[in-house]
Structure 1
Amino acid sequence: MGDGKVEVRKDQLEDLLRGELPDAIEKAREIHERGGQDVVRVRRSFIRLENFAGLVEDERKPLPKSKRPLSAKMISPRGLTLKLYLLMLFAAQCEVTAGKEWPGPYPIEPTAERPDSWRGLVATIAKYAGPGVQAASVRTNKVRQIAEAMKTLEKMGLLASATGVKGQVRRGVLLLCENGKSKKAGAANIPYTVPTDNEAFVEIPIGFFTNGWVHVLTTSEIAALLMWFDVTKFDPSHHKLEDGSTITQAYVLSDVRHGFYGLGRDAYETHQSLDAFELLDVIRHAKRHDDGKWQDFADDSSDMVAHRIILQTEAFGRDSGQVVLPVLRRRHTLGEWGRPLQ
């Protein structure tokens, strides 16, 4: 991430902390009290392809968007789509139990009858542009952003307009299953149900939502985190310590990262920021640089060992803004990802 991008991200986070982030966190905690669960389940099919999509020629260029899993398709520098959909899954699981549909997702804006809304649960940078015909109020701009994200989700087969008419998301939406199969030609909509114990799913710690991480992380960081949640659960490696205890580690090779998760090197390199935020512990091989590149690289290298990752799920219990802002300031000042002094 270049210095200019870091500065913009830092400034935006400062704006969120002064503006919408505290209210969005308060609303998430209020909604969570109804369910009380410790995790939010996300079906594996949202994160990982069922079949290998093939190798890529350039490490910097991931699969075409059309071939990626749904979560990787939503990576965008200023996109709201991935964050909004995860918030929808969070809200659904706070309202109904495993195996059940959520018959009444929130409206975009609150009403006297429905005080919970997506506008209240989402934190965005939607500034007032000043007077004039083309200018929009902060509220109107935010609603527009949410509606546009909903339309994207509708096109991806993850939402349906409650009216049954495509594009009328402002009048209400119905959640569809996160496998995206409702999009297939001629397919009937598959209503979203909370995953049951006999399904393949990953678990996102509830603090990801109730402590605001969903708002302060980038979509690349979130997509990479989903990959690490998946690999840690379904393909972990175990390392025995000298005291006899065992720690669970995860790693992913580039062909798997591209061919199953649809993530290129830019997304992979978010392990540097996620490590600085202490959401991951990264165990680096002695020959690897911090960014993951291999010293003295050769095509016939037989000892190219990938970084090992240890997920720190309890770290989502911290206030996201108070953790991330000092790291971004350090990155902006020193040009390096590092954990701030405690």
Structure 2
Amino acid sequence: MKPSDFLRAAVAQERDGKVEIRKDQLQALMGGELPDAIKKAREIHARGKKPQVVRVRRSFVRLEKFGGTVETERKPLPRAERPLSAQMITPKGLTLKLYLLMLFAAQCEAAVGKEWPQPYPIEPDAQKTDSWEGLVATVAKYAGPGVQASSVRTNKIRQIAQAMKALEEMGLLKSATGIKGQVRRGVLLLCENGKSKDTGAASIPYTVPADDERFLEIPVGFFTNGWVHVLTNSEIAALLMWFDVMKFDAMHVAPEGRAPMTVGYVLSNVRHGFYGVGRDTYETHKPLEAFQLLDVHRPSKRYDSGKWKDFEEDSSGMVCHRVVLRDGAFDKEAGPVVEEVLKRRDATNEWRRPFGGFVQPQRW
């Protein structure tokens, strides 16, 4: 075997192992906390203001000024210089998911332009049955006997507290108690631009984005059907980028016999310099397409590997993938859809849609 073949085989084996781990974790979620978390989200939505979308200020996802040109995919923008959403792209951790859940809960209870008067505590109590423990779904395992042993519940609460600490360091929330070493009973949610970090004691409280502000929109089914728990941090960060692109920088095309589509695309320098999104996160368009959330239209001269047929430096035909958000993308419960795709991915080594959900990729 050639060294290059050995390397490709090793990479494929590592990738397949990750898919199998993800499938096992998903099945554990579906048989554990996911149904209760979905039920709680739907309850909060039904008794509240029933928003159809959750508004997220654009500054959470996109830098206001160009962050700089990136020479190679291997050297992206330093993490601290990326937008806050891209800073939360990690293999594990609840930071991004928890903050989005906070925005969802806030907009279920607070009017447009208003603050959220009573954010939830981590754990429920006699006065407040809503909590982050109930709204978050995790695979928190029992650590076993010994001094460091923790119950599953204690482990989950620790994960939430760690995510809150990270959000506090980013200037996205403020502890209501601030007592070191104790579980935070409540928080003050801060504006998602993170500028509270630069104002010292004068924190900027979160308000639901007003109509005249620049914000992207997350369909409410992302929360009430469990997608926020099932997707990876990279997939969520990529979705936020696509939501932003489709709202502010999209083109509108009218396929023959159909209504116009909102089509998004992003150039490499924009992806890096404004969104802080590297190649690995961008490539999540493959699983997102397999999950039937996006339709991806590929340039006719571009291979799936990213290489170009008849490459020329000055070619005007070199265009990016075009991405369309599918109608009703988040209307199905996430667990069964993703589970079927992961099983197929594990068996075929390809990202494919479930039977009946396949759409032949179009070429531009």
Please say if 1:115 is aligned against 2:129. yes
| Alignment TM-score, normalising by the size of structure 1 | 0.96
Unaligned runs of 5+ in 1: none
Please say if 1:62 is aligned against 2:86. no
- Give the AA of the match of 2:95: T
In 2, distance between residues paired with 1:26 and 1:171?
23
CA contact (8 A) 2:33 2:137 kept: yes
Change (3 A) 1:293 1:182: farther
Please say if 1:229 is aligned against 2:258. no
The Cα of 1:300 is off from its aligned counterpart by 3.9
The Cα of 1:267 is off from its aligned counterpart by 0.6
Counterpart for residue 268 of structure 1: 282
Give the match's secondary structure for 1:248. strand
Counterpart for residue 202 of structure 1: 216
CA contact (8 A) 2:86 2:277 kept: yes
1:217-236 per-position Cα deviation (integer Å, ceiling 9, x unaligned): 00100000001000100011
Paired residues in the alignment total: 342
1:44-87 per-position Cα deviation (integer Å, ceiling 9, x unaligned): 01000000011111124321101100000000011210000000
1:297-337 per-position Cα deviation (integer Å, ceiling 9, x unaligned): 45444321111000125110101001100101111111000
Identity of aligned residues (%): 70
- Give the AA of the match of 1:195: P
From 43, 50, 53, the counterpart of 1:30:
43
Please say if 1:101 is aligned against 2:103. no
Counterpart for residue 12 of structure 1: 25
From 225, 235, 244, the counterpart of 1:211:
225
Change (3 A) 1:249 1:68: same
Unaligned runs of 5+ in 2: 1-13, 357-364
In 2, distance between residues paired with 1:74 and 1:110?
26
In 1, distance between residues paired with 2:198 and 2:309?
45
| Alignment TM-score, normalising by the size of structure 2 | 0.90
CA contact (8 A) 1:279 1:315 kept: yes
In 1, distance between residues paired with 2:327 and 2:96?
20
Counterpart for residue 287 of structure 1: 301
In 1, distance between residues paired with 2:258 and 2:133?
50
Give the match's secondary structure for 2:56. strand
In 1, distance between residues paired with 2:32 and 2:249?
40
1:135-191 per-position Cα deviation (integer Å, ceiling 9, x unaligned): 110000000000000000000000001135677661321100000000115462000
Give the match's secondary structure for 1:274. helix
Change (3 A) 1:53 1:167: farther
Change (3 A) 1:268 1:3: same
From 259, 265, 268, the counterpart of 1:245:
259
